[in-house]
Structure formats: structure tokens, C-alpha cells
Structure 1
Amino acid sequence: MSSSLSFNSTAVEEDKFIGSVMVKTVAYYQNRLGETSRARPNLRKPPLRRNHEAGHDRLIEDYFVDDAVYAAAFHISNGKWMQGEKGLSPIQKCMASIRQLAYGMSADKWDEYFRMSDRTVRESVYKFCKTICLVYGQRYLRKPTINDIHQLYTVHEGKHGFPGMLGSIDCMHWSWSLCPNAWRGQYMRGDHKEQTIILEAITSHDLWIWHAFFGPAGANNDINVLDQSPVFNDIYLGKPHDVPFHENEVAYKRGYYLTDGIYPPLSIFVKSFTCPNEPKRKKFKEAQESARKDVERAFGVLKRR
């Protein structure tokens, strides 16, 4: 009986001790938290007053008045730009988006001239690109329809002498001088002095690039890019626009693309001869390489040559 009483008293004392320790610990951390919250400075930056009206006035004087500083670039005569609330005007956002896309600079590069924050520039670029896709997507950002394919067959046969030709496919390494430091190792090749992005494109005779595949990282060539490209997804899924054509009394199910020698030997690719000996093969080689200048010309336009 005495042992049980002593055990109970010891347990009560332990509970009291643990309770007092917990109370002191909670009070200690509450005091520390109160001191920290009182001593913590306000790390949030106050909003900057960028004077949006001054940026708008400067842009109008440089480009959109009769005696503009850069009148040779373009001129728009419209006296309604100044209407609306005092803030960033639509023309400021459009010009910032166009420059961001044209020069590839960081978003905060244009704060000094346009008086716009980097967040506003990023949002403007996103909305600008979304609007461009919405307005021009149905006309330009699409694959050829059946009528387009018939027209491509006719024009390519008349211009290059290749019936059933859909276009030319090739890849181009695009220099990326402003590549982020964290990605430089992924986009570096030993045969290039700076980082590059590889572009796969299909081009018709009139420089219509109706297929473009950008951006796979690594030391890629045309074959690696083709393995990752969605160019033949419709064929794999069984949803292609099969437009047959006839040549030399032979019916072919679909058209083909002109390529260089690195592409695999598929029926949809027409390559040139490596070392032609016969006159017919020499003539075919010259015609095929001449027709493939369409895609090379398109790459030259993209590179502004």
C-alpha cells in the first residue's frame, strides 16, 4: 500500500515538472516571437512611381508625330492615343512586346525607356503573343488543308518539276547569345562557338513555314530532332490528309518532302544521289538541290541575311 502511494506521488510530481517546463518553454518562445516581430523590418519594397505619362509622351515624340525622331521606321497619324486613363497606354505595351520579341532582352531592360516594370512587360508579351495567335492563327499558324496540298502539288510541279512535292524539310542551328547561364551547358555544341537552338522547319516555294519545331536541348542533329518532332503525328494517329497523286501511270498515296542525305530512307523523303554517274541522275541531283533552296532561303530570311 505504501509503495503504491509513493508511486502515485512521484507520478504527480513528474507531471507538475513537465507542465512547468512546457509553460516556461511556451512563454519563452512567445517572448522571442514578439521581439522578432517588433524588430523585423519591412522588407517589402514600396511601389515605384514610374511616371507612365512621360514614357508615353517620349514614345509618341520618337515615332508617332509628323516630325518624329525615328520617322523612317514607321508613322501612324492618330490623335486618339492620348485618350483614356493616365497609365500605360496600349501603344507602350505593344512596342515593349515587339522589342522584347525582336531583341530577346530581359524584361527589365525596357524600364528606362517605356517606364514599365518587368512584370508588366512579361504580361504584355504574353497577351500580345496570345492575341497574334488568336487573330492570325486560322490563316498562318496551321497545317495545309486538302485544297492547300493540291495547290502545293501544282505549283511545285510547275516551278521545280517535282509532282507530289509538299515542301522541303531541314534543320537550322540558331545562335542564342542571350542563353541563361543555367542552360548554357545544355545548348552548347563542340562545332559552335556559342549556344544554339535547333529549328526544324518545312517550307514551301513561297516561304510558307507551316511546320516549325524548336528547342530540344543537347547536341542534336537532324535525326535526333526528327525523332522528337510532331511532324508525323497525324500519320501515326491515323489522321493524315492523304492527297494522292499520279506520275508515270503510278498512283501514290501521299506527297513527299525533299531532304538532304542525313534523313532516313523513308518513302515520304526524297533525297539526292551522293555520287551520280548517269546523266539522268546528275540532272535529278541538280533539280533536287535547286528545289531544296526554298528551305535554305527561308532560313536566310529568319537570320536576316
Structure 2
Amino acid sequence: MAVHRQQRATLGASSSRRPNSQPRMFIRRNPLEVVTHDDYFIQKRDASGRLGLSSLQKMTAAIRMFTYGVTADLMDEYVRIGESTARLSMKKFVKAIVSIFGGEYLRSPTSNDIARLLEVGQRRGFPRMLGSIDCMHWKWKNCPSAWKGMYSGHVNEPTIILEAVASYDLWIWHAFFGLPGSHNDINVLDRSSVFAALAEGRGPPCNYTINGHEYTMGYYLADGIYPSWATLVKTILAPHGKKKKHFATCQEFARKDVERAFGVLQSRFAIVRGPARYFQPEVLKDIMYACIILHNMIVEDERHLYLGADQFNYEANDDTPSEPISRDNIPEFMEFIAQHHRIRDRVTHSQLQADLMEHLWNMHGRA
């Protein structure tokens, strides 16, 4: 009996750790919005007049499945909820999260957001850097047998790919999820919308000068598999000389932002660290986006704990997501093609890389 008490005490202590306790704050703060959005979470009476499961029970079951990655049949002991009800609560909950909070916590950066990101990039030695881009694979345990060949990649197991752009404070600004694991980062980039606004002429102005050369587009830090585009800055694979070695060190250090974001996302939500158990890709997509939204909520809530928190005071601004563009504002087809070629310009990529190398060396490499 004493052993069981000790185990329960240990479990209670581990469940109150900060990464897993943060999503529970969502239940206490925002339950009404979820209940208002979907009447499934409203507590109802059955035919005999007894009250059924409360909204907090259903949301608690979904949150515990998020944070601990446990199966639905384990919810009966803690929340007193059946397996099928817990599974349905998860599906309803993630849909509500994406629908209610996606516009705020899964948005593209606004003009004020970009201004702050560029300022942080300037301080870190990469003027006009918008963040880091990379892909993460989520293993799909219950992938249908007919799809396993399409979804199996280099790990020989079915996976689904998430492409994300993250900033220094681990906020995920862009998320594109759903492509089969047989794709690589280049295939995903060709299908994602990360540069869609820029190609359509809707990107915010980003004019700057480095080492005497003028540029008109921001850029992301990427690893070696990505193409040599004007909007991507890669490292040097085999650097020779102090300048190139210093640039490679700085680039690889700053590019870890997105990998840190992936690591924190998986540590906070074990459901995306372990294998996916649902059969429908639409459900997995809602789960991934809901985890990213909750992750960004936590980043916003804990931003005051970061070093240099004044750089990331997003909540102090009334920025709203930009409204969809009307057809009258879409540039002509030839202008779109020209902008598309400017994004993929290899010459500009090489020039930008060389200018950043000189800038970083003049900044603190000489010491």
C-alpha cells in the first residue's frame, strides 16, 4: 500500500511540471469559447435526467492525451470517461482550437511582427532575417496499408511531414502539414505557401543594404538540402578559411531556432513525439495545428521569462491577420512570374551569402 501511495505521489508531482501544466491553464482560462463554438461540450442530461459528462471532463481528457500521448482507453481511470467519448472529445477539441484561435496563433507575421523580427535578426548579425525553416517527420503508426508505400521515406516507416518557420522566441509563424514522408524538404517547399504572399506582391517592404549591395526581400536560414534561392541563406558545407568557418558557425547556431521549436513542441505534447494512432489524415492535421496553437499560447504566456523579453512583446500590439486579397489587387501574370524568378535567383543567393559573411566577420569575427 505504501508503494502504491508513493507511486501516486510521484505521478502527481510529475504531472504538475511546468511544460505539462501549461496546457491545463487553457482549460481554466478559455473553456467558454470552446463550449460556445461546439455544443458537444455542453453538459447535458440523459433520458433518466442524470447529468452527463461536463465540458471540463471532456477537455481535460483531450489535454491529457495531448500532453502525455496516452491512448483513449486510459482516460477512464483519471477522468471517468469512456474510450469512444475520449476519442470523440479529442477530435471535437482540436477542431474547435483551430477554428477559434487559429487566426491569432497560427497567423502569418504582420508588418509590426516583421519589423520586430528584423530588429532581432539585426542584433544577432543577420540583417533582415525572418526566421529559420525546416521540416519534421511525424511517424504514422496506423497508416492504411494501401498508403504505406507513399508515406514511407528514408526511415522506411510511414511518416507525415511538418514544415515550419520559427523565430528566436520559438514562436512558429508558418506551419504546413500533411505531405507524405516520401517527400524531402525541397518537394515540401515547392508545395508550401511560405513564399506565396511574396510571389503575389503582397509581402511587406523589406529593403536593406549589406556590404554595399541592396536587397528587397527578407530571407530564412536553412540547412544544406534547401535550394539556393534569394530568400534562403544556407551554411557552407566544407568551409576553408576563418571567414567561412565563422559564417558557418553563426549560421548553424542561429538556424537551430526551428529545431529547438520542434524539440519544445514534442516535449510539451507527447502526442506528436510518439507515433500517430488515428487513421484519418484530416484528424492528424487538426491535432498538429492545435498543438502548434497551444505551443504559441505558451510562448506568449512565458515570454516575460526570456532573456531580452522586451524584444518579443507581441501582445502589446493590436495587430490582426491581414485580410484576404481581392482579385483587383493581384498583380499581372508576367509580374508574378518575374517575382517568382527573383525569389529563386541563385546569383542573388550567392551574393547575399558572401555579403553576410563579410558583415559577420566585420561585426565580431576579427576579434
Cα distance, 1:71 vs structure 2: 4.4
Q: Distance in 2 between matches of 1:241 and 1:131?
A: 31
Unaligned runs of 5+ in 2: 1-7, 29-42, 46-50, 268-272, 274-367
1:177 maps to which residue?
Answer: 141
Cα 1:134–1:175 change in 2 (3 A) is closer
| 2:200 maps to amino acid | L
1:217 maps to which residue?
Answer: 180
Q: Distance in 2 between matches of 1:303 and 1:71?
A: 21
Residues 250-261 of structure 1 correspond to what in structure 2 (within 5 A)? Answer: 250-261=213-224
Matching of residue 115 in structure 1 with residue 81 in structure 2? yes
Residues 155-304 of structure 1 correspond to what in structure 2 (within 5 A)? Answer: 155-158=120-123, 160-189=124-153, 191-192=154-155, 194-304=157-267
Q: Distance in 2 between matches of 1:225 and 1:155?
A: 27
Q: Distance in 2 between matches of 1:236 and 1:180?
A: 36
1:40 maps to which residue?
Answer: none
1:142 maps to which residue?
Answer: 107
Q: Distance in 1 between matches of 2:145 and 2:64?
A: 22
Q: Distance in 2 between matches of 1:213 and 1:221?
A: 14
Q: Distance in 2 between matches of 1:273 and 1:106?
A: 44
Matching of residue 88 in structure 1 with residue 53 in structure 2? yes
Identity %: 51
SS at match of 1:290: helix
Cα distance, 1:234 vs structure 2: 1.2
SS at match of 1:173: strand
Cα 1:277–1:97 change in 2 (3 A) is same
Cα distance, 1:145 vs structure 2: 0.8
SS at match of 1:211: strand
Cα distance, 1:274 vs structure 2: 2.3
Q: Distance in 2 between matches of 1:104 and 1:265?
A: 38
Residues 4-19 of structure 1 correspond to what in structure 2 (within 5 A)? Answer: none
- 1:241-299 Cα offsets, whole Å, 9 max, x none, are 23323333443212101111211111001111222223212211111111111112112
Q: Is the 8 Å Cα contact of residues 62 and 90 (structure 2) preserved in structure 1?
A: yes
Q: Distance in 2 between matches of 1:271 and 1:277?
A: 16
- 1:185-215 Cα offsets, whole Å, 9 max, x none, are 33222x3253322221111111111111112
Q: Is the 8 Å Cα contact of residues 169 and 202 (structure 1) preserved in structure 2?
A: yes
Cα distance, 1:140 vs structure 2: 1.8
Cα 1:115–1:273 change in 2 (3 A) is closer
Cα 1:70–1:109 change in 2 (3 A) is closer
Larger RCO, structures 1/2 (Cα 8 Å, 6+ apart) = 2
- 1:161-188 Cα offsets, whole Å, 9 max, x none, are 1011001111122233344445433322
Matching of residue 133 in structure 1 with residue 98 in structure 2? yes
Cα distance, 1:235 vs structure 2: 2.3
Q: Is the 8 Å Cα contact of residues 160 and 181 (structure 2) preserved in structure 1?
A: no
Q: Is the 8 Å Cα contact of residues 150 and 243 (structure 1) preserved in structure 2?
A: no
Q: Distance in 2 between matches of 1:101 and 1:178?
A: 17
Q: Is the 8 Å Cα contact of residues 146 and 243 (structure 1) preserved in structure 2?
A: no
Q: Distance in 2 between matches of 1:229 and 1:188?
A: 20
Q: Distance in 1 between matches of 2:249 and 2:133?
A: 17
Cα 1:92–1:69 change in 2 (3 A) is farther
Q: Is the 8 Å Cα contact of residues 174 and 194 (structure 2) preserved in structure 1?
A: yes
SS at match of 1:174: strand
Q: Distance in 1 between matches of 2:147 and 2:186?
A: 22
Residues 11-160 of structure 1 correspond to what in structure 2 (within 5 A)? Answer: 71-72=12-13, 73-74=15-16, 85=45, 86-102=51-67, 110=75, 114-116=80-82, 118=84, 120-121=85-86, 123-158=88-123, 160=124
Cα 1:218–1:126 change in 2 (3 A) is closer
Identify the structure with the greater helix proportion: 2
| 2:54 maps to amino acid | S
Unaligned runs of 5+ in 1: 1-66
Cα 1:197–1:102 change in 2 (3 A) is farther
SS at match of 1:155: helix
Q: Distance in 2 between matches of 1:185 and 1:99?
A: 32
SS at match of 2:165: strand
